[in-house]
Structure 1
Amino acid sequence: MTSPSQGDREKVVSKLPARLQQDLKIRTAQHGIDIQHAVEEGITAWRGLGANRSPIDTAGAKSFSTWLPSGQWEDFRKDCAARGVSIVQGLSQSVQVWLEKNPAPDVQRPVVVKRRIICNQKGGVGKTAITAGIGEALAEDSDSLHPVRISKHFAALLTENLEVSPLDYEDLPGLGQRVLLVDFDPQCHLTKQLGHEPLPIDGDSLTKHMAGEAKGALRDLIVEVTDERFGGRLHLLPACTDAFLLDVKLSGVRAREAALERALAPLEDNYDAILVDCPPSLGLSMDAAAYYGRRRPGEEPGNSGVLIVVQAEDSSADAYALLTSQIEDLRSDMGLELEYLGIVVNHYDARRGYIATSSLENWMGIKDPRVVGVIGDLKEQKEAVRVKRPLLAYAPRCDQAVAMRALAREIS
């Protein structure tokens, strides 16, 4: 069945098995092409075959429509009649031919592992939630579609009244990356929120590895964040409360700024991204984390660096100034190429009035580093923490989840 034309294309309506419709939607998104062009290519390839293919089970086929070049559908119908197959069968085989000719692309792996340091000297701004959310978004299944907020620039989040405006969503394939979340905070929030127990204080830990007191291999401490959408790609290095002693222990360590890098280096080949959830501190542990996020020789700009999490209120601005001062001192004193990945304004709620909206305006006014994400203060994140589940598994289509996916892509 054909409908009125659109330029040099005409709308066609038929049926297609739900499985093929879903596979077609995912595969075209993976290759970045329109469904209509994939169907056009599939029909052309099917018509060029010298023999019929094995029949496809079309029982329960559902309505399907697309736009094809004028005349292609009529020629296709004639070919189906000549080959003795139904229109639905011919269309199903055509889509299957295209899928076979265009297999799912491999996930792109970075040449140098991406190291993201999520930090702010102020506690309570939501560093842990941002670390977990980005990691979850990076690890989601690349053979499934997930809703992502679409925005060319985060200034588009603001209306004239500085309120977050509704944005379009788009279903995109997951990024499928292998991710390690490092809980670097002695309060162990990341560990607990993801449903795991902190490491026992009398056992091995990241602190002991950094201090040269390791009892075994660090990889033996890593646990998996389990959910089918992550497919075994999302891992956690749990924290231990002995991290409260880290600054004291580091004071006697040789080249203490490189202590975190020495500890994590043996793990890097197993991951595409390592995210470090930092404590609210400006001590030696923050120096070690920042050093780990520096740009290494030959590493592309933007591959690694510091992501600063703030809130839309005045105390975050004070903490931001202290943190950036420390980072600038490290840059200067050690000659580091330490990049800012951006600022994330977390827990934003315009209903809190002038303090929130004017503060957000000030954050948006900073151009270097720029705001790369605004995450709303909504109930789903709190609920996910309460039930000790990853946000993107607990509420994968909530506004915070789609914003986390956009943030992960923004800094990738």
Structure 2
Amino acid sequence: MSSPTTSNDREKVVSKLPARLRQQVKIRAAQYGIEMQSAVEQGISDWCELASATAPVDTAGADSFATFLPPGQWEEFRQSAADRRVSLIQGLAQSVQLWLDTHPEPDIERPAITRRIIVCNQKGGVGKTAITAGLGEALAEDPNTLHPVRVAKALTKALRASEVHSDATEPDTDPLDIENLPGPGLRVLLVDFDPQCHLTNQLGAAPLPMNGDSLTNHMAGEPKGDLNDLIVPIDDDTFGGRLHLLPACNDAFLLDVRLSAVRAREAALERALTPLEGDYDVIIVDCPPSLGLSMDAAVYYGRRRDGENPGQSGALIVVQAEDSSADAYELLTTQIDDLRGDLQVDIDYLGIVVNLYDSRRGYIATSSLQGWVDIKDPRVVGLIGDLKEQKEAVRVKKPLLSYAPKSQQAVGMRALAREVL
């Protein structure tokens, strides 16, 4: 049943365990941030210390299960199972079930103040909408399911690799740099603040009619109903009712004109969205490629509020590894800095996302990426390759993380979500 291993002074043991329990302990251990073998070890230790066996566990369909335990623990477990006249398979199942019962599913850590993420850049075509959607999807993923995530060290490795030209579409990610982690399970509202309605269309929703109610009307102080009535769910089967969208309306083209007649217009977006905040942990605003009054309102909405920690809310800037993005970045940061000074508010940068990266484009791409990396503040928090899955997801009007959940882009979106968190 067991064979010694010298790699970490533990011994490998092989038994059988129902697939249901194997999956549950794997997920629960990840939720607690420990190795699966440590959970099994603790369960066996606690089971052996009980005065008697626990309630029988259904072991139908149990198949091979291997783990590593401290030397001698398996023999102690075998003796306890013999004393209690239960099979090793039943004893192991009871041990795992005992650990699960004493380590219930942890509560989702919800922010005291709804986090507000403003996804922006004055330049169009950099993929703000794709990043908005992917980030929101990653934040809303199921906490009781494991998803492949590129860990932080892999991002650092990828950024370093970008300094040397390669023929890969994006810097290679070693499989060892991928971890399977539970989803954050946050309640997320995506706000399509762009009159072009790209986010709305990409997620398969319908833009709001021009003669109806809209976010624009609420910001202009002329609502026609409850803004909450305009919100639509996104792919409940995948995101379990945690991901919602406030669709756009083409009337947002007129927003700057209408805001010019509104008192305290920089707070117009906040006044409109504040009633919704109690239902969400995170609100992500997909901004238009604009430097007008509507952008002022979006940036002000992302300012740091009283009692909010630095870096909880703020601006996430999406760029590409090419020169025009750098010019647009300067215009945007100048606007944000002006608002900081004029309104005396704290506006945090959450980071830079280099999107649609393809090192095959040569020196322009690699040197531009290095330029973004060199900025340091804000730092690069995401590197997303220019791959086909995102384009395909847009074509079929499905969220990327449900259309291609194991793609490199999906893995990168989850890494971005954890960097932003």
TM-score greater than 0.5 by the shorter chain? yes
Aligned to 1:146: 147
**Structure 1 residue 251 displacement after superposition:** 0.3
Give me the TM-score of the superposition, normalised by structure 1. Answer: 0.98
Percent identity, aligned pairs only?
70
Could you tell which deviates more after superposition, 155-164 or 209-218? 155-164
Q: Distance in 2 between matches of 1:149 and 1:63?
A: 29
Could you tell which deviates more after superposition, 284-293 or 30-39? 30-39
**Structure 1 residue 83 displacement after superposition:** 1.5
Q: Distance in 2 between matches of 1:379 and 1:165?
A: 16
Aligned to 1:66: 67
**Structure 1 residue 162 displacement after superposition:** 4.9
**Structure 1 residue 13 displacement after superposition:** 1.2
Aligned to 1:60, the other structure's residue is in SS state coil
The one-letter code sitting in structure 2 at the alignment partner of 1:45 is D
Q: Distance in 2 between matches of 1:130 and 1:353?
A: 24
Number of aligned positions between the proteins: 412
Could you tell which deviates more after superposition, 40-49 or 52-61? 52-61
Deviation digits for residues 8-43 of structure 1, max 9, x if unmatched? Answer: 421111111111110010000000111122111111
**Structure 1 residue 272 displacement after superposition:** 0.3
Give me the TM-score of the superposition, normalised by structure 2. Answer: 0.96
Deviation digits for residues 218-256 of structure 1, max 9, x if unmatched? Answer: 101101002323110100000000000000000000000
The one-letter code sitting in structure 2 at the alignment partner of 1:5 is T
Which residue of the other structure, out of 190, 200, 203, is the alignment partner of 2:209? 200
Q: Distance in 2 between matches of 1:56 and 1:314?
A: 62
Aligned to 1:4: 4
Q: Does 1:388 align with 2:389?
A: no
Could you tell which deviates more after superposition, 226-235 or 195-204? 226-235
Q: Distance in 2 between matches of 1:399 and 1:63?
A: 31
Which residue of the other structure, out of 315, 324, 333, is the alignment partner of 1:324? 333
Aligned to 1:344: 353
Deviation digits for residues 202-224 of structure 1, max 9, x if unmatched? Answer: 00000000001101111011010
Which residue of the other structure, out of 290, 295, 301, is the alignment partner of 2:310? 301
8 Å Cα contact 2:124-2:289 kept in structure 1: yes
Q: Does 1:240 align with 2:249?
A: yes
Aligned to 2:384, the other structure's residue is in SS state strand
8 Å Cα contact 1:227-1:393 kept in structure 2: no
The one-letter code sitting in structure 2 at the alignment partner of 1:216 is G
Aligned to 2:323: 314
8 Å Cα contact 1:307-1:343 kept in structure 2: yes
The one-letter code sitting in structure 2 at the alignment partner of 1:124 is G
Q: Distance in 2 between matches of 1:162 and 1:144?
A: 37
Structure 1 segment 201-220 matched on structure 2, within 5 A: 201-220=210-229
**Structure 1 residue 153 displacement after superposition:** 7.2
Structure 1 segment 151-170 matched on structure 2, within 5 A: 151-152=152-153, 154-157=155-158, 158-159=160-161, 160-163=163-166, 164-167=171-174, 168-170=177-179
**Structure 1 residue 331 displacement after superposition:** 0.8
Structure 1 segment 111-190 matched on structure 2, within 5 A: 111-152=112-153, 154-157=155-158, 158-159=160-161, 160-163=163-166, 164-167=171-174, 168-190=177-199
8 Å Cα contact 2:154-2:173 kept in structure 1: no
Q: Distance in 2 between matches of 1:221 and 1:106?
A: 29
User: Unaligned 5+ residue runs, structure 2?
Assistant: none
Runs of 4+ in 1 over 6 A off after TM superposition: none
Could you tell which deviates more after superposition, 155-164 or 227-236? 155-164
Could you tell which deviates more after superposition, 327-336 or 198-207? 327-336
The one-letter code sitting in structure 1 at the alignment partner of 2:173 is P
Aligned to 2:133, the other structure's residue is in SS state helix
Q: Distance in 1 between matches of 2:154 and 2:308?
A: 25
Deviation digits for residues 350-396 of structure 1, max 9, x if unmatched? Answer: 01111111111111111111111110000000000000000000000
Q: Distance in 2 between matches of 1:260 and 1:249?
A: 13
Aligned to 1:242, the other structure's residue is in SS state helix
Aligned to 2:230: 221
Q: Distance in 2 between matches of 1:279 and 1:143?
A: 35
The one-letter code sitting in structure 1 at the alignment partner of 2:233 is E
Q: Does 1:104 align with 2:105?
A: yes
The one-letter code sitting in structure 2 at the alignment partner of 1:319 is A
8 Å Cα contact 2:299-2:315 kept in structure 1: yes
**Structure 1 residue 55 displacement after superposition:** 2.3
Q: Distance in 1 between matches of 2:5 and 2:205?
A: 57
Aligned to 2:86: 85
Structure 1 segment 250-269 matched on structure 2, within 5 A: 250-269=259-278
8 Å Cα contact 2:165-2:363 kept in structure 1: no
What is the aligned-residue RMSD (CA, Å)? Answer: 1.1
Q: Cα–Cα, structure 1 residues 347 and 104, in superposed 2: closer, same or farther, change >3 Å? A: same
Aligned to 2:153, the other structure's residue is in SS state coil
Aligned to 2:152, the other structure's residue is in SS state coil
Q: Cα–Cα, structure 1 residues 329 and 147, in superposed 2: closer, same or farther, change >3 Å? A: same
8 Å Cα contact 1:162-1:361 kept in structure 2: no
